[in-house]
Chain A
């Protein structure tokens, strides 16, 4: 049986956590997108060291658990006298981690556009940047949207990592409520519902974007 009194008794905690999760997700979303685009550009760049850096970044970050990335920011950085709060290190870790996946999605989308498009653009007198902007990217974006949407949904769910570094998010308060009520099932069911409130609209929005872009050409 789900105990609804938990929701009313601890509504302050749930709401506080919910707001923090929204905040961390939005910051993570913007941050990971910006870093992801930069890394994707590095990875397809013709400058070799940049390409190497991009590859190293992606392979390094996507192949270690998010938990460890966040621990490095929270417990590791103080060694260098950089002391970040749970929220800051959690959100930063989340953005850095997700950016590796976003970079891959964007790179794959750009690579999916046939080589001939670039050659055609360049021979029409467009510069490299112009070709990218007017020929390649508009085509790539259609391929990129679905995996990008997936990453953003993952990011919202992964923001629960803040809970282990005392980031005061939804998961953190879920844990603290649980240790007072001992009602594991009810406590986390409500936590899950709050995440759904965020992820379902996001999911629908990504679906809508996909359909609209498919119509555009």
Chain B
């Protein structure tokens, strides 16, 4: 009886929530088409586009960017100076320079994976530049720019290791962190691999250093941080999952997204992007 009742409840909930979702999606798409029709009547030149977000930034004379404060290499707050540094931060500064002509006309607000979309919706921030992976689910909630960083799962090994690709892992011991999707991914890519899981990255890296395993696997950005700490460990095998990071802005503001894409192309062409990339990841960006 109990079972039946709760099943009924769950079913009702499912139906109601899916209907709501449908309605929401419907609203979203109709409003974005509205936007397109109005903006199409505007000028075609990208550097003189007008969009609500862009206007607000110019009027305020300051860009407000939502960034991570706790992520090594991307956005990390230095407790000594109180300043946030990282790849995402420098991209945001370049954007401020592009819009307002001064890279210091910018304010950083801390976001987490949970808070970033609500903060964008509320208008607390203009853009999210916070290690945010572009995916279909999120595209329903925000606009994404083109990819500005190619993240994905990779392998960290001792220099000179025979492991060159993910296929070489068969029968080898791979170290990973509990609760991460990286375990599932590596087991799928290389069946028969033995995975040892640890509570955090520091422990996993220590275990790799003392030879408890042959490779460590997780996102390339985290591995790059480890490799910078101890250069006798290097990334290998390229990326075997695809997690492209994009700059997110308000859903439906397609003109602003276009502006962001032009901006990304510009810094790509003039070498600023490569400079920023090299500063943080100590290597040239991959084509």
A residues engaging B (CB < 8 A)? Answer: 1, 74-75, 78, 83, 85-86, 164, 166, 172, 175-176, 178-180
- B2's closest neighbor in chain A, by CB? A1
Chain B contact residues, majority secondary structure: mixed
What are the residues of chain A within 8 A of B210 when measuring CB–CB? 75, 78, 83
Given known contacts A179-B179, A179-B183, A75 and B198 CB-to-CB distance under 8 angstroms: no
What are the residues of chain B within 8 A of A166 when measuring CB–CB? 175, 196-198, 207, 212
Q: How far is the CB of A5 from chain B (nearest CB, A)?
A: 14
Q: How far is the CB of B66 from chain A (nearest CB, A)?
A: 27
- The listed residue (B175, B197, B209) touching A175 by CB distance below 8 A is B197
A176 and B184 contact, CB distance less than 8 A? no
B6 and A1 contact, CB distance less than 8 A? yes
Q: What is the interface residue range for chain B against chain A?
A: 10 to 19
Q: CA separation between A172 and B199, bound complex, in Å?
A: 10
A176 and B211 contact, CB distance less than 8 A? no
A179 and B6 contact, CB distance less than 8 A? no
Given known contacts A83-B211, A86-B212, A166-B207, A179 and B196 CB-to-CB distance under 8 angstroms: no
- B196's closest neighbor in chain A, by CB? A166
Q: How far is the CB of A165 from chain B (nearest CB, A)?
A: 8
What are the residues of chain A within 8 A of B175 when measuring CB–CB? 166
Q: CA separation between A175 and B178, bound complex, in Å?
A: 7
What are the residues of chain A within 8 A of B203 when measuring CB–CB? 75, 164
Q: CA separation between A179 and B6, bound complex, in Å?
A: 26
What are the residues of chain A within 8 A of B207 when measuring CB–CB? 74-75, 166
What are the residues of chain A within 8 A of B183 when measuring CB–CB? 176, 179
Given known contacts A75-B203, A83-B210, A180 and B196 CB-to-CB distance under 8 angstroms: no
Q: How far is the CB of B4 from chain A (nearest CB, A)?
A: 13
Q: Does B180 contact A (CB under 8 A)?
A: yes
Q: CA separation between A179 and B183, bound complex, in Å?
A: 9
B212 and A176 contact, CB distance less than 8 A? no
A164 and B211 contact, CB distance less than 8 A? no
Given known contacts A164-B199, A166-B196, A175-B178, A180 and B184 CB-to-CB distance under 8 angstroms: yes
9 A-B residue contacts at CB 8 Å? A74-B207, A75-B203, A75-B206, A83-B212, A85-B212, A166-B175, A166-B212, A172-B197, A179-B178
- A164's closest neighbor in chain B, by CB? B199
What are the residues of chain B within 8 A of A1 when measuring CB–CB? 6
A164 and B198 contact, CB distance less than 8 A? yes
What are the residues of chain A within 8 A of B209 when measuring CB–CB? 78
B178 and A176 contact, CB distance less than 8 A? yes
- A79's closest neighbor in chain B, by CB? B210
Q: CA separation between A112 and B162, bound complex, in Å?
A: 62
What are the residues of chain A within 8 A of B196 when measuring CB–CB? 86, 166
**B188-202: which have CB < 8 Å to A?**
196-199
What are the residues of chain B within 8 A of A175 when measuring CB–CB? 178-179, 197
Q: How far is the CB of A65 from chain B (nearest CB, A)?
A: 14
What are the residues of chain A within 8 A of B179 when measuring CB–CB? 175, 178-179
- B213's closest neighbor in chain A, by CB? A166
What are the residues of chain A within 8 A of B206 when measuring CB–CB? 75
What are the residues of chain A within 8 A of B184 when measuring CB–CB? 180
Q: CA separation between A175 and B6, bound complex, in Å?
A: 28
The 4 closest A-B pairs by CB, nearest first: A78-B210, A166-B196, A179-B179, A175-B178
B178 and A78 contact, CB distance less than 8 A? no
Q: How far is the CB of B88 from chain A (nearest CB, A)?
A: 27
Q: CA separation between A178 and B184, bound complex, in Å?
A: 13
